[in-house]
């Protein structure tokens, strides 16, 4: 199991990531709202602006303050 740093000391298992997307699109905003309503959203932004939404195999949604490009680069390393 490889853990990916998604910013500010927070980690996510790279094996469980389905998608890393920008939070700007309306469908992604809807996914985040629904996840918050179901209590399956994890806010890992540490109070900063959300720049990436990570969707996992278990349908959990992780919010990160790093850009999708930065997270993508970290998944490719190693």
Per-residue pLDDT reduced to its tens digit, 22-57: 999 999 999 999 999 999 999 999 999 999 999 999
Looking at the structure of the chain, the number of domains it has is 1
Distance CA 16, CA 3 (A): 10
**C-alpha to C-alpha distance for 74 and 71, rounded to whole angstroms:** 5
Asked if 44 and 5 touch (Cβ cutoff 8 Å), the reply is: no
> What is the reported pLDDT for 76?
82
Length of the chain: 78
Which residue segment(s) compose the domain that 61 sits in? 3-76
Under the banding of pLDDT at 50, 70 and 90, the label for residue 17 is: very high
pTM of the model: 0.94
69 confidence band (pLDDT: 50, 70, 90): very high
pLDDT at residue 10 greater than cutoff 90 = yes
Helices assigned H by DSSP within 1-67 = 26-37
């Amino acid at each position: 199991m490889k853990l990916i740093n998604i910013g500010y000391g927070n980690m996510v298992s790279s094996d469980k990531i389905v998608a890393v997307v920008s939070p700007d699109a309306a469908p992604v905003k809807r996914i985040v709202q629904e996840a918050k309503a179901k209590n399956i959203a994890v806010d890992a932004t540490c109070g900063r602006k959300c720049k990436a939404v990570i969707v996992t195999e278990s349908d959990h949604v992780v919010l990160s303050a790093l850009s999708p490009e930065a997270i993508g680069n970290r998944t490719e390393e190693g």
